[in-house]
Structure 1
Amino acid sequence: MAEKAKKDGGIVETIKTVVYALLIAGVFRTLFFQPFWIPSGSMKDTLLIGDFLFVNKMTYGYSYASCPSIRIPALGVNVDAKSICGWADGDNTRLFGGEPERGDVVVFRHPVTGFDFIKRLIGLPGDKIQVIGGVVQINGEAVKLEDDGVFQEVYGPQGPQGNRPRCENGPVGNGGACVKSRQIETLPNGAAYGILNITTQGSDNTGIYTVPEGHYFFMGDNRDNSTDSRVPQAARGVGFVPYENLIGRADRIMFSSAGKSMFAFWTWRSDRFFKGVN
Protein backbone atom coordinates (compact mmCIF):
# COMPACT_ATOMS: atom_id res chain seq x y z
CA MET A 1 0.00 0.00 0.00
CA ALA A 2 2.79 2.40 0.92
CA GLU A 3 4.55 1.69 -2.38
CA LYS A 4 1.31 2.29 -4.34
CA ALA A 5 0.66 5.54 -2.47
CA LYS A 6 4.20 6.67 -3.22
CA LYS A 7 3.73 5.83 -6.91
CA ASP A 8 0.38 7.65 -7.06
CA GLY A 9 1.94 10.63 -5.33
CA GLY A 10 4.72 10.71 -7.91
CA ILE A 11 2.19 10.77 -10.75
CA VAL A 12 0.27 13.60 -9.09
CA GLU A 13 3.46 15.61 -8.64
CA THR A 14 4.37 15.07 -12.29
CA ILE A 15 0.93 16.26 -13.42
CA LYS A 16 1.20 19.31 -11.16
CA THR A 17 4.63 20.14 -12.56
CA VAL A 18 3.34 19.94 -16.13
CA VAL A 19 0.30 22.08 -15.28
CA TYR A 20 2.47 24.71 -13.55
CA ALA A 21 4.87 24.78 -16.49
CA LEU A 22 1.98 25.28 -18.94
CA LEU A 23 0.51 28.06 -16.79
CA ILE A 24 3.85 29.85 -16.57
CA ALA A 25 4.38 29.50 -20.33
CA GLY A 26 0.85 30.77 -20.96
CA VAL A 27 1.36 33.83 -18.76
CA PHE A 28 4.76 34.54 -20.37
CA ARG A 29 3.29 34.26 -23.86
CA THR A 30 0.25 36.37 -23.02
CA LEU A 31 2.03 39.21 -21.21
CA PHE A 32 5.55 39.45 -22.56
CA PHE A 33 6.71 37.69 -25.73
CA GLN A 34 4.88 35.54 -28.27
CA PRO A 35 6.80 33.26 -30.65
CA PHE A 36 6.08 33.72 -34.34
CA TRP A 37 7.26 31.78 -37.40
CA ILE A 38 7.33 33.56 -40.76
CA PRO A 39 5.19 31.39 -43.06
CA SER A 40 5.18 33.46 -46.26
CA GLY A 41 7.36 35.77 -48.33
CA SER A 42 5.23 38.90 -47.97
CA MET A 43 7.87 40.68 -45.84
CA LYS A 44 11.00 39.81 -47.83
CA ASP A 45 13.73 40.73 -47.55
CA THR A 46 13.20 42.11 -44.06
CA LEU A 47 11.81 38.74 -42.98
CA LEU A 48 12.33 35.46 -44.80
CA ILE A 49 10.25 32.30 -44.75
CA GLY A 50 11.53 30.26 -41.81
CA ASP A 51 12.59 33.20 -39.62
CA PHE A 52 11.60 32.68 -35.98
CA LEU A 53 11.10 35.67 -33.73
CA PHE A 54 9.55 36.75 -30.46
CA VAL A 55 6.91 39.48 -30.63
CA ASN A 56 7.20 42.12 -27.90
CA LYS A 57 3.71 42.40 -26.41
CA MET A 58 4.63 45.08 -23.88
CA THR A 59 5.18 47.70 -26.60
CA TYR A 60 1.50 48.44 -27.31
CA GLY A 61 -0.11 47.20 -24.10
CA TYR A 62 -2.81 44.56 -23.88
CA SER A 63 -6.20 43.76 -25.37
CA TYR A 64 -8.26 40.64 -26.05
CA ALA A 65 -5.87 39.91 -28.96
CA SER A 66 -3.02 39.49 -26.46
CA CYS A 67 -4.48 36.12 -25.54
CA PRO A 68 -2.80 33.54 -27.77
CA SER A 69 -4.78 31.42 -30.20
CA ILE A 70 -3.81 27.76 -29.98
CA ARG A 71 -3.96 26.03 -33.35
CA ILE A 72 -2.52 22.54 -33.88
CA PRO A 73 -4.19 21.18 -37.04
CA ALA A 74 -2.52 17.78 -36.74
CA LEU A 75 -4.22 17.26 -33.37
CA GLY A 76 -7.48 18.98 -34.29
CA VAL A 77 -6.81 21.75 -31.75
CA ASN A 78 -8.24 25.16 -32.70
CA VAL A 79 -8.74 27.45 -29.70
CA ASP A 80 -9.22 31.05 -30.80
CA ALA A 81 -8.14 34.02 -28.67
CA LYS A 82 -11.77 35.18 -28.57
CA SER A 83 -12.73 31.92 -26.88
CA ILE A 84 -10.48 32.89 -23.97
CA CYS A 85 -10.57 36.68 -23.87
CA GLY A 86 -13.61 37.58 -25.96
CA TRP A 87 -15.11 39.34 -22.95
CA ALA A 88 -12.54 42.14 -23.49
CA ASP A 89 -13.40 42.62 -27.19
CA GLY A 90 -15.43 45.46 -28.62
CA ASP A 91 -14.20 48.75 -27.19
CA ASN A 92 -11.04 49.15 -29.35
CA THR A 93 -8.96 50.17 -26.34
CA ARG A 94 -5.96 48.65 -24.60
CA LEU A 95 -4.65 48.26 -21.06
CA PHE A 96 -1.34 50.11 -20.60
CA GLY A 97 -1.69 51.05 -24.27
CA GLY A 98 1.26 52.37 -26.25
CA GLU A 99 0.99 54.07 -29.63
CA PRO A 100 2.60 52.28 -32.58
CA GLU A 101 4.96 54.26 -34.79
CA ARG A 102 4.97 54.50 -38.55
CA GLY A 103 7.40 51.92 -39.91
CA ASP A 104 7.00 49.40 -37.06
CA VAL A 105 6.86 45.74 -38.09
CA VAL A 106 3.73 44.56 -36.29
CA VAL A 107 2.01 41.25 -35.64
CA PHE A 108 -1.76 41.73 -35.53
CA ARG A 109 -4.92 39.69 -35.50
CA HIS A 110 -6.72 39.69 -38.86
CA PRO A 111 -10.02 41.59 -38.35
CA VAL A 112 -12.08 38.85 -40.03
CA THR A 113 -10.27 35.50 -39.93
CA GLY A 114 -8.60 35.93 -36.54
CA PHE A 115 -5.29 34.58 -37.86
CA ASP A 116 -2.03 36.33 -36.95
CA PHE A 117 -0.47 38.49 -39.70
CA ILE A 118 2.82 40.38 -39.77
CA LYS A 119 3.19 43.56 -41.87
CA ARG A 120 4.73 47.03 -41.74
CA LEU A 121 2.72 49.95 -40.37
CA ILE A 122 2.38 52.61 -43.07
CA GLY A 123 -0.75 54.62 -42.24
CA LEU A 124 -1.85 56.13 -38.90
CA PRO A 125 -5.40 57.15 -37.92
CA GLY A 126 -6.57 60.03 -40.11
CA ASP A 127 -3.94 59.50 -42.82
CA LYS A 128 -4.79 59.40 -46.51
CA ILE A 129 -2.82 56.62 -48.19
CA GLN A 130 -2.52 55.99 -51.92
CA VAL A 131 -0.14 54.09 -54.19
CA ILE A 132 0.71 55.68 -57.56
CA GLY A 133 3.09 53.91 -59.92
CA GLY A 134 4.27 51.70 -57.06
CA VAL A 135 5.15 54.72 -54.89
CA VAL A 136 3.34 55.19 -51.57
CA GLN A 137 1.72 58.58 -51.06
CA ILE A 138 0.99 59.70 -47.48
CA ASN A 139 -1.31 62.69 -47.17
CA GLY A 140 -0.55 63.71 -50.74
CA GLU A 141 3.24 63.44 -50.43
CA ALA A 142 5.29 60.67 -52.07
CA VAL A 143 7.62 58.80 -49.75
CA LYS A 144 11.32 58.90 -50.54
CA LEU A 145 12.62 55.99 -52.66
CA GLU A 146 16.21 55.10 -53.54
CA ASP A 147 17.26 52.26 -55.83
CA ASP A 148 19.31 49.67 -53.95
CA GLY A 149 20.26 46.97 -56.44
CA VAL A 150 18.49 43.62 -56.40
CA PHE A 151 17.45 40.90 -53.99
CA GLN A 152 18.40 37.44 -55.23
CA GLU A 153 17.30 34.02 -53.99
CA VAL A 154 17.30 30.46 -55.28
CA TYR A 155 14.11 29.46 -57.06
CA GLY A 156 12.53 26.41 -55.44
CA PRO A 157 10.17 25.29 -52.66
CA GLN A 158 10.56 27.34 -49.48
CA GLY A 159 9.55 26.45 -45.92
CA PRO A 160 7.14 23.77 -44.67
CA GLN A 161 4.47 24.82 -47.19
CA GLY A 162 6.83 24.56 -50.16
CA ASN A 163 5.89 27.97 -51.56
CA ARG A 164 7.87 29.14 -54.60
CA PRO A 165 8.92 32.79 -54.95
CA ARG A 166 7.81 35.12 -57.71
CA CYS A 167 10.65 36.49 -59.83
CA GLU A 168 11.08 39.74 -61.74
CA ASN A 169 13.35 38.00 -64.27
CA GLY A 170 10.51 35.80 -65.56
CA PRO A 171 10.14 32.02 -65.40
CA VAL A 172 13.13 30.48 -63.64
CA GLY A 173 13.90 26.77 -63.35
CA ASN A 174 14.59 25.00 -60.07
CA GLY A 175 17.89 26.14 -58.63
CA GLY A 176 17.98 29.23 -60.82
CA ALA A 177 18.56 32.80 -59.66
CA CYS A 178 15.26 34.51 -58.78
CA VAL A 179 15.71 38.28 -58.83
CA LYS A 180 13.63 41.21 -57.57
CA SER A 181 14.39 44.93 -57.69
CA ARG A 182 15.18 46.42 -54.27
CA GLN A 183 14.63 49.98 -53.07
CA ILE A 184 15.04 51.82 -49.80
CA GLU A 185 11.77 53.43 -48.71
CA THR A 186 11.89 56.25 -46.15
CA LEU A 187 8.74 57.34 -44.33
CA PRO A 188 8.06 60.90 -43.10
CA ASN A 189 9.30 60.04 -39.59
CA GLY A 190 12.66 58.83 -40.93
CA ALA A 191 11.99 55.08 -40.72
CA ALA A 192 13.90 53.47 -43.61
CA TYR A 193 13.89 49.87 -44.84
CA GLY A 194 14.13 47.78 -47.99
CA ILE A 195 11.17 46.95 -50.23
CA LEU A 196 10.99 44.60 -53.22
CA ASN A 197 9.25 44.96 -56.57
CA ILE A 198 8.48 42.23 -59.09
CA THR A 199 6.17 43.65 -61.74
CA THR A 200 3.50 46.26 -62.47
CA GLN A 201 0.10 45.17 -61.20
CA GLY A 202 -3.17 46.53 -59.87
CA SER A 203 -1.89 47.10 -56.34
CA ASP A 204 0.72 49.55 -57.72
CA ASN A 205 -2.04 52.05 -58.50
CA THR A 206 -4.83 52.43 -55.98
CA GLY A 207 -7.52 54.81 -54.87
CA ILE A 208 -7.17 56.89 -51.72
CA TYR A 209 -7.57 55.06 -48.41
CA THR A 210 -8.61 57.29 -45.51
CA VAL A 211 -7.59 55.52 -42.31
CA PRO A 212 -10.40 55.69 -39.70
CA GLU A 213 -9.76 56.80 -36.14
CA GLY A 214 -8.52 53.95 -33.99
CA HIS A 215 -7.31 51.97 -37.04
CA TYR A 216 -4.06 51.41 -38.96
CA PHE A 217 -2.94 50.71 -42.53
CA PHE A 218 -0.39 47.96 -43.18
CA MET A 219 1.68 46.85 -46.18
CA GLY A 220 4.15 44.04 -46.81
CA ASP A 221 7.72 44.91 -47.82
CA ASN A 222 7.49 42.45 -50.74
CA ARG A 223 5.04 44.83 -52.36
CA ASP A 224 3.85 42.70 -55.28
CA ASN A 225 3.43 39.56 -53.19
CA SER A 226 1.51 40.75 -50.13
CA THR A 227 -2.13 40.60 -49.11
CA ASP A 228 -2.43 43.67 -46.90
CA SER A 229 -4.49 46.81 -46.25
CA ARG A 230 -4.61 47.62 -49.96
CA VAL A 231 -7.11 44.77 -50.30
CA PRO A 232 -10.43 45.35 -48.47
CA GLN A 233 -11.75 42.75 -46.06
CA ALA A 234 -14.72 42.11 -48.35
CA ALA A 235 -12.22 40.88 -50.96
CA ARG A 236 -10.49 38.64 -48.40
CA GLY A 237 -7.80 41.21 -47.69
CA VAL A 238 -6.69 42.90 -44.47
CA GLY A 239 -8.30 46.33 -44.82
CA PHE A 240 -7.98 48.69 -41.86
CA VAL A 241 -6.81 47.07 -38.61
CA PRO A 242 -8.35 48.18 -35.27
CA TYR A 243 -6.04 49.30 -32.46
CA GLU A 244 -7.21 46.45 -30.23
CA ASN A 245 -6.12 43.88 -32.84
CA LEU A 246 -2.43 44.73 -32.49
CA ILE A 247 -0.51 41.94 -30.78
CA GLY A 248 3.01 43.30 -30.60
CA ARG A 249 6.12 44.59 -32.36
CA ALA A 250 8.71 42.37 -34.02
CA ASP A 251 12.13 43.52 -32.82
CA ARG A 252 14.61 40.69 -33.38
CA ILE A 253 14.97 37.43 -35.31
CA MET A 254 16.09 34.71 -32.90
CA PHE A 255 16.57 31.82 -35.31
CA SER A 256 16.18 31.09 -39.02
CA SER A 257 15.89 27.94 -41.10
CA ALA A 258 15.53 27.73 -44.88
CA GLY A 259 14.28 24.14 -44.82
CA LYS A 260 11.01 22.40 -44.07
CA SER A 261 11.95 21.76 -40.44
CA MET A 262 13.93 23.64 -37.80
CA PHE A 263 15.73 20.35 -37.09
CA ALA A 264 17.32 20.32 -40.57
CA PHE A 265 20.48 22.00 -39.25
CA TRP A 266 22.12 22.11 -42.70
CA THR A 267 19.47 24.68 -43.74
CA TRP A 268 20.03 27.04 -40.81
CA ARG A 269 20.81 30.65 -41.71
CA SER A 270 23.35 31.46 -39.01
CA ASP A 271 23.83 35.00 -40.35
CA ARG A 272 20.24 35.80 -39.29
CA PHE A 273 20.46 34.56 -35.69
CA PHE A 274 19.68 37.45 -33.27
CA LYS A 275 19.38 39.90 -36.16
CA GLY A 276 17.43 43.08 -35.45
CA VAL A 277 14.24 43.74 -37.43
CA ASN A 278 14.53 47.09 -39.20
Structure 2
Amino acid sequence: MERARVDHETKRAARAAEPGAWASIKETLKVGTQALLIALVVRTLLFQPFNIPSGSLVPTLLIGDYLFVSKYTYGYSKYSLPLSEYLPFKAEGRIWGAEPKRGDIAVFKLPKDNATDYIKRVIGLPGDKIQMKAGLLYINDVPVKRERTTPYETTGPYGEQAKAEQYIETLPGGVTHLVIERDGDNGYWDNTEAYTVPPGRFFMMGDNRDNSTDSRDLANVGFVPFENFVGRAEMIFFSIDEGTAAWQVWNWPANVRWNRLFSAIR
Protein backbone atom coordinates (compact mmCIF):
# COMPACT_ATOMS: atom_id res chain seq x y z
CA MET A 1 0.00 0.00 0.00
CA GLU A 2 2.83 2.36 0.85
CA ARG A 3 4.44 1.82 -2.54
CA ALA A 4 1.13 2.37 -4.34
CA ARG A 5 0.65 5.61 -2.45
CA VAL A 6 4.17 6.79 -3.43
CA ASP A 7 3.53 5.96 -7.10
CA HIS A 8 0.24 7.86 -6.96
CA GLU A 9 1.94 10.90 -5.44
CA THR A 10 4.68 10.76 -8.07
CA LYS A 11 2.16 10.67 -10.93
CA ARG A 12 0.18 13.53 -9.39
CA ALA A 13 3.36 15.63 -9.08
CA ALA A 14 4.26 14.84 -12.71
CA ARG A 15 0.78 15.92 -13.88
CA ALA A 16 1.09 19.12 -11.86
CA ALA A 17 4.45 19.85 -13.48
CA GLU A 18 3.18 19.31 -17.06
CA PRO A 19 1.52 22.73 -17.49
CA GLY A 20 4.68 24.49 -16.30
CA ALA A 21 6.95 22.46 -18.60
CA TRP A 22 4.64 23.05 -21.58
CA ALA A 23 4.53 26.76 -20.78
CA SER A 24 8.32 26.84 -20.75
CA ILE A 25 8.49 25.11 -24.15
CA LYS A 26 5.90 27.50 -25.60
CA GLU A 27 7.84 30.50 -24.28
CA THR A 28 11.07 29.19 -25.85
CA LEU A 29 9.31 28.66 -29.19
CA LYS A 30 7.79 32.13 -28.98
CA VAL A 31 11.14 33.81 -28.31
CA GLY A 32 12.79 31.81 -31.11
CA THR A 33 10.05 32.73 -33.58
CA GLN A 34 10.29 36.40 -32.65
CA ALA A 35 14.08 36.33 -33.11
CA LEU A 36 13.70 34.74 -36.55
CA LEU A 37 11.09 37.31 -37.59
CA ILE A 38 13.30 40.18 -36.45
CA ALA A 39 16.26 38.70 -38.34
CA LEU A 40 14.11 38.31 -41.46
CA VAL A 41 12.88 41.90 -41.26
CA VAL A 42 16.43 43.23 -40.76
CA ARG A 43 17.76 41.16 -43.66
CA THR A 44 14.90 42.11 -45.98
CA LEU A 45 14.51 45.79 -45.15
CA LEU A 46 17.72 47.03 -43.55
CA PHE A 47 21.01 45.17 -43.92
CA GLN A 48 22.18 41.98 -45.60
CA PRO A 49 25.59 40.36 -45.11
CA PHE A 50 27.70 39.37 -48.11
CA ASN A 51 31.16 37.96 -48.52
CA ILE A 52 33.62 38.66 -51.33
CA PRO A 53 34.52 35.52 -53.32
CA SER A 54 36.57 37.11 -56.14
CA GLY A 55 39.21 39.78 -56.68
CA SER A 56 37.30 42.00 -59.10
CA LEU A 57 37.22 44.94 -56.67
CA VAL A 58 40.81 44.68 -55.44
CA PRO A 59 42.27 46.81 -53.90
CA THR A 60 39.04 48.22 -52.43
CA LEU A 61 37.56 44.85 -51.44
CA LEU A 62 39.57 41.67 -50.93
CA ILE A 63 38.67 38.00 -51.15
CA GLY A 64 37.65 37.07 -47.61
CA ASP A 65 35.99 40.40 -46.77
CA TYR A 66 32.55 40.16 -45.14
CA LEU A 67 30.39 43.24 -45.45
CA PHE A 68 27.01 44.73 -44.73
CA VAL A 69 24.88 45.99 -47.61
CA SER A 70 22.14 48.54 -46.91
CA LYS A 71 18.86 47.44 -48.50
CA TYR A 72 17.01 50.72 -47.93
CA THR A 73 19.46 52.97 -49.81
CA TYR A 74 17.98 52.29 -53.24
CA GLY A 75 14.49 51.35 -52.10
CA TYR A 76 12.97 47.91 -52.61
CA SER A 77 12.25 45.65 -55.55
CA LYS A 78 11.48 41.96 -55.95
CA TYR A 79 15.21 41.32 -55.64
CA SER A 80 15.28 42.78 -52.14
CA LEU A 81 13.48 39.65 -50.92
CA PRO A 82 15.38 36.52 -49.85
CA LEU A 83 15.42 33.74 -52.48
CA SER A 84 13.83 36.13 -54.98
CA GLU A 85 14.71 33.85 -57.89
CA TYR A 86 12.21 31.28 -56.57
CA LEU A 87 9.28 33.63 -56.05
CA PRO A 88 6.29 32.65 -58.24
CA PHE A 89 5.20 36.20 -59.03
CA LYS A 90 6.66 38.90 -61.24
CA ALA A 91 7.12 42.39 -59.87
CA GLU A 92 8.68 45.25 -61.78
CA GLY A 93 10.13 48.52 -60.56
CA ARG A 94 10.97 49.69 -57.05
CA ILE A 95 9.20 51.33 -54.14
CA TRP A 96 10.81 54.24 -52.27
CA GLY A 97 13.47 54.09 -54.98
CA ALA A 98 16.57 56.29 -54.96
CA GLU A 99 18.92 55.79 -57.89
CA PRO A 100 22.51 54.67 -57.31
CA LYS A 101 25.13 57.41 -57.41
CA ARG A 102 28.28 57.32 -59.45
CA GLY A 103 31.03 55.75 -57.37
CA ASP A 104 28.76 53.61 -55.18
CA ILE A 105 29.82 50.01 -54.67
CA ALA A 106 26.61 48.04 -55.07
CA VAL A 107 25.32 44.48 -55.02
CA PHE A 108 22.96 43.55 -57.84
CA LYS A 109 21.39 40.51 -59.42
CA LEU A 110 23.14 39.54 -62.64
CA PRO A 111 20.77 40.48 -65.49
CA LYS A 112 21.68 37.27 -67.33
CA ASP A 113 19.89 35.07 -64.78
CA ASN A 114 18.38 37.52 -62.24
CA ALA A 115 19.72 35.24 -59.49
CA THR A 116 23.51 35.50 -59.14
CA ASP A 117 24.77 38.23 -56.79
CA TYR A 118 27.43 40.52 -58.27
CA ILE A 119 29.19 43.44 -56.63
CA LYS A 120 30.77 46.24 -58.66
CA ARG A 121 31.22 50.01 -58.68
CA VAL A 122 28.67 52.29 -60.37
CA ILE A 123 30.54 54.02 -63.21
CA GLY A 124 27.90 54.99 -65.77
CA LEU A 125 24.48 56.51 -65.17
CA PRO A 126 21.52 56.41 -67.59
CA GLY A 127 22.39 58.33 -70.75
CA ASP A 128 26.16 58.29 -70.15
CA LYS A 129 28.67 57.33 -72.81
CA ILE A 130 31.39 55.04 -71.41
CA GLN A 131 34.58 53.90 -73.11
CA MET A 132 38.03 52.55 -72.24
CA LYS A 133 40.98 53.78 -74.29
CA ALA A 134 44.47 52.43 -73.52
CA GLY A 135 43.43 51.71 -69.95
CA LEU A 136 41.99 55.16 -69.37
CA LEU A 137 38.28 55.53 -68.53
CA TYR A 138 36.29 58.05 -70.55
CA ILE A 139 32.87 59.28 -69.42
CA ASN A 140 30.96 61.33 -71.96
CA ASP A 141 34.14 61.70 -74.05
CA VAL A 142 36.06 63.23 -71.12
CA PRO A 143 39.01 61.24 -69.69
CA VAL A 144 38.65 60.50 -65.99
CA LYS A 145 41.49 61.89 -63.92
CA ARG A 146 43.88 59.28 -62.58
CA GLU A 147 47.19 59.60 -60.74
CA ARG A 148 49.79 56.85 -60.50
CA THR A 149 50.62 55.71 -56.97
CA THR A 150 52.59 52.87 -55.34
CA PRO A 151 52.32 49.56 -57.26
CA TYR A 152 50.00 46.98 -55.71
CA GLU A 153 51.22 43.52 -54.70
CA THR A 154 48.87 41.03 -56.31
CA THR A 155 48.80 37.68 -58.12
CA GLY A 156 49.13 37.15 -61.84
CA PRO A 157 46.82 35.11 -64.06
CA TYR A 158 48.59 31.87 -63.07
CA GLY A 159 48.75 32.57 -59.33
CA GLU A 160 52.27 33.98 -59.36
CA GLN A 161 53.27 37.01 -57.30
CA ALA A 162 53.15 40.20 -59.34
CA LYS A 163 53.04 43.96 -59.05
CA ALA A 164 50.15 45.83 -60.65
CA GLU A 165 50.14 49.47 -61.61
CA GLN A 166 47.90 51.34 -59.15
CA TYR A 167 46.11 54.64 -59.69
CA ILE A 168 43.98 57.08 -57.76
CA GLU A 169 40.93 57.63 -59.96
CA THR A 170 38.58 60.59 -59.48
CA LEU A 171 35.12 60.18 -61.00
CA PRO A 172 32.89 63.06 -62.09
CA GLY A 173 31.20 64.26 -58.91
CA GLY A 174 34.36 63.85 -56.83
CA VAL A 175 34.38 60.20 -55.70
CA THR A 176 38.01 59.12 -55.40
CA HIS A 177 39.09 55.48 -55.25
CA LEU A 178 41.95 53.16 -56.16
CA VAL A 179 42.14 51.02 -59.29
CA ILE A 180 44.77 48.57 -60.45
CA GLU A 181 45.89 47.52 -63.95
CA ARG A 182 47.36 44.03 -63.60
CA ASP A 183 48.12 43.80 -67.34
CA GLY A 184 49.13 47.42 -67.80
CA ASP A 185 47.07 49.58 -70.13
CA ASN A 186 46.66 46.96 -72.83
CA GLY A 187 44.59 44.31 -71.12
CA TYR A 188 41.64 42.65 -72.82
CA TRP A 189 39.12 45.26 -71.62
CA ASP A 190 41.44 48.29 -71.75
CA ASN A 191 40.28 49.25 -75.24
CA THR A 192 36.55 48.98 -75.81
CA GLU A 193 33.76 50.24 -77.95
CA ALA A 194 31.74 53.22 -76.75
CA TYR A 195 28.79 52.12 -74.61
CA THR A 196 25.72 54.33 -74.30
CA VAL A 197 23.85 53.50 -71.10
CA PRO A 198 20.10 53.05 -71.79
CA PRO A 199 17.39 54.70 -69.64
CA GLY A 200 16.84 52.89 -66.36
CA ARG A 201 20.18 51.06 -66.65
CA PHE A 202 23.61 51.46 -65.04
CA PHE A 203 27.16 50.67 -66.10
CA MET A 204 29.14 48.72 -63.49
CA MET A 205 32.90 48.08 -63.33
CA GLY A 206 35.41 46.48 -60.99
CA ASP A 207 38.37 48.39 -59.55
CA ASN A 208 40.63 45.52 -60.65
CA ARG A 209 40.26 46.56 -64.25
CA ASP A 210 42.03 43.60 -65.87
CA ASN A 211 40.36 40.98 -63.69
CA SER A 212 36.68 41.92 -63.62
CA THR A 213 33.74 40.57 -65.58
CA ASP A 214 31.51 43.62 -65.63
CA SER A 215 29.36 45.81 -67.87
CA ARG A 216 32.11 45.99 -70.49
CA ASP A 217 31.21 42.37 -71.22
CA LEU A 218 27.77 42.80 -72.78
CA ALA A 219 27.26 39.07 -73.26
CA ASN A 220 27.72 38.16 -69.59
CA VAL A 221 26.86 41.30 -67.59
CA GLY A 222 26.01 44.32 -69.70
CA PHE A 223 23.82 47.16 -68.49
CA VAL A 224 22.18 46.59 -65.10
CA PRO A 225 18.48 47.50 -64.65
CA PHE A 226 17.68 49.67 -61.65
CA GLU A 227 15.29 47.04 -60.28
CA ASN A 228 18.14 44.48 -60.11
CA PHE A 229 19.98 46.44 -57.42
CA VAL A 230 20.01 44.78 -53.99
CA GLY A 231 21.79 47.45 -51.97
CA ARG A 232 24.88 49.57 -51.36
CA ALA A 233 28.00 48.18 -49.68
CA GLU A 234 28.52 50.10 -46.45
CA MET A 235 31.00 48.46 -44.06
CA ILE A 236 33.42 45.55 -43.74
CA PHE A 237 32.53 43.80 -40.48
CA PHE A 238 34.98 40.89 -40.82
CA SER A 239 37.93 40.01 -43.00
CA ILE A 240 40.16 36.94 -43.17
CA ASP A 241 42.99 35.88 -45.44
CA GLU A 242 42.07 34.16 -48.67
CA GLY A 243 41.95 30.40 -48.25
CA THR A 244 41.09 30.51 -44.54
CA ALA A 245 37.53 29.56 -43.56
CA ALA A 246 35.83 32.12 -41.32
CA TRP A 247 34.61 29.36 -38.96
CA GLN A 248 38.16 28.25 -38.16
CA VAL A 249 38.42 30.45 -35.09
CA TRP A 250 41.75 28.95 -34.09
CA ASN A 251 43.25 30.62 -37.18
CA TRP A 252 41.86 34.05 -36.40
CA PRO A 253 44.84 35.50 -34.50
CA ALA A 254 47.17 34.94 -37.44
CA ASN A 255 44.82 35.26 -40.41
CA VAL A 256 42.16 37.84 -39.56
CA ARG A 257 42.86 41.21 -41.21
CA TRP A 258 42.29 43.16 -38.01
CA ASN A 259 42.91 46.55 -39.64
CA ARG A 260 39.93 46.03 -42.01
CA LEU A 261 37.31 45.20 -39.37
CA PHE A 262 34.46 47.74 -39.13
CA SER A 263 35.92 49.92 -41.87
CA ALA A 264 33.67 51.98 -44.14
CA ILE A 265 33.61 51.13 -47.84
CA ARG A 266 34.47 53.88 -50.29
What is the TM-score when the length of structure 2 is the normalising length?
Answer: 0.85
Q: Does 1:211 align with 2:235?
A: no
- Whether the 8 Å CA contact 1:63–1:88 is kept in 2: the answer is no
Alignment of 1:3 onto 2:3:
no
Q: Distance in 1 between matches of 2:81 and 2:65?
A: 22
Q: CA deviation at 1:226?
A: 0.6
Q: Could you say which structure has the larger radius of gyration?
A: 2
Q: How is 1:3-82 mapped onto 2 (pairs within 5 angstroms)? A: 3-68=17-82, 80-82=83-85
Report matched runs for 1:88-127 at 5 Å. 89-90=91-92, 93-113=93-113, 114-127=115-128
What residue identity is the alignment partner of 1:246? F
8 Å Cα contact 2:204-2:215 kept in structure 1: yes
The alignment's C-alpha RMSD in Å is 1.8
Residues in 2 aligned to 1:166 and 1:254: alpha-carbon distance in whole angstroms: 28
Per-residue CA deviations over 1:36-59 (Å, capped at 9, x if unaligned) read 111111000000111111111121
**Inter-partner Cα distance in structure 1 for 2:118 and 2:229:** 10
Q: Is the 8 A contact 1:144 1:185 kept in 2?
A: yes
What is the CA-CA distance between 1:252 and the residue it aligns to? 1.7
CA distance, structure 2, for counterparts of residue 41 and residue 2 of structure 1 = 62
Take 2:213 and 2:42, find their aligned partners in 1: how far apart are those partners? Answer: 30
State how many pairs are aligned.
Answer: 244
Indicate if the aligned counterparts of 1:50 and 1:257 stay in contact, CA closer than 8 A: yes
SS at match of 1:29: helix
| Contiguous gaps of at least 5 residues in structure 1 | 69-79, 154-164
1:253 deviates by 1.3
Question: How far did 1:171 drift?
Answer: 6.8
Alpha-carbon offset, residue 2 of structure 1: 3.7
- Counterpart of 1:151, as a letter, is Y
The CA deviation at 1:131 is 0.8
For structure 2, list consecutive stretches of 5 or more residues without a partner in the other structure. Answer: 1-14
Structure 1 residue matching 2:210: 3-state secondary structure = helix
Residue 253 of structure 2 is aligned to residue 270 of structure 1: no
TM-score (norm 1): 0.82
Change (3 A) 1:171 1:47: closer
Question: Identity rate of aligned residues, in percent?
Answer: 47
